[in-house]
Amino acid sequence: MNSKDSSVYIIEPKKGWIPIDLKEIFRFRELLYFFAWRDIKLRYKQTILGAGWAIIQPLFTMIIFTLFFGQIAKIPSDGVPYPIFSYSGLILWVYFSNAISFAGTSMVTSSNLISKVYFPRLIVPTSATLFGLVDYVMAFIVMGLLMAYYHFTPGITIIMLPFIIFMTWMLAAGIGYWLSALNVKYRDIGYIIPFFIQLWLFATPVIYPSSMVNGKYGWLLSLNPMSGLIEAHRHAILGYMNINFISLGISMVVIVLIFLSGMFYFKRVERYFADII
pLDDT digits (tens, 9 = 90+) for 18-67: 667 677 777 878 888 888 888 777 776 766 666 677 788 899 999 999 99
- State pLDDT tens for residues 179-202: 999 998 888 898 999 999 999 999
- State pLDDT tens for residues 139-169: 999 999 999 999 988 888 899 999 999 999 9
The least confident of 13-17, 75-79, 258-262 is 13-17
Residue 3 has pLDDT above 50, yes or no: no
- CB 175: neighbour CB atoms within 10 A? 25
Nearest 5°: the CA angle 56, 78, 256 is 70
- State pLDDT tens for residues 81-113: 999 999 999 999 999 999 999 999 988 888 777
- pLDDT above 70 covers what percent of the chain? 87
Q: Are 164 and 232 in contact (CB under 8 A)?
A: yes
pLDDT class for 246, splitting at 50, 70, 90?
Answer: confident
> How far, in Å, CA of 204 to CA of 226, rounded?
6
- The pLDDT, as a whole number, for residue 11 is 54
Q: Are 85 and 234 in contact (CB under 8 A)?
A: yes
pLDDT class for 13, splitting at 50, 70, 90?
Answer: low
